[in-house]
Amino acid sequence: MSKPNEYEIKEVADFLKVPEDRLDDCIDEFKECLKTTRESRATLKTLADIVDQDADVITKFCGFIWVDDGKTKQTIEITTEVDV
């Protein structure tokens, strides 16, 4: 089985790379990604408040990679940058 196509979405124009017949599925999964991101930000804001840190500094949405595999599974990657 071949590897499914992947589409990196960092700006609205990137949706033009997605084949028209697959766009509805991509947008549906993107909406789920945004929902999850909002929920994660709320959690991270609570944690930031506990450690007296600016939540905008620790939360950043860097984009979305849609894998056209017919599944509606999400994989979330959270990275950190720590000044030492």
Give me the mean pLDDT over the 9-37 stretch. Answer: 92
| Span 51-80, pLDDT tens digits | 777 656 555 677 888 999 888 777 777 666
Supply the pTM of this predicted model: 0.71
Structure tokens at 3: 């590897």
Give me the mean pLDDT over the 3-26 stretch. Answer: 94
| Span 38-51, pLDDT tens digits | 888 788 778 778 87
With 60 as the cut, is the pLDDT of residue 82 above it?
no
Nearest to 33 by CA among 69, 65, 60, 68: 65
Nearest to 7 by CA among 78, 76, 69: 69
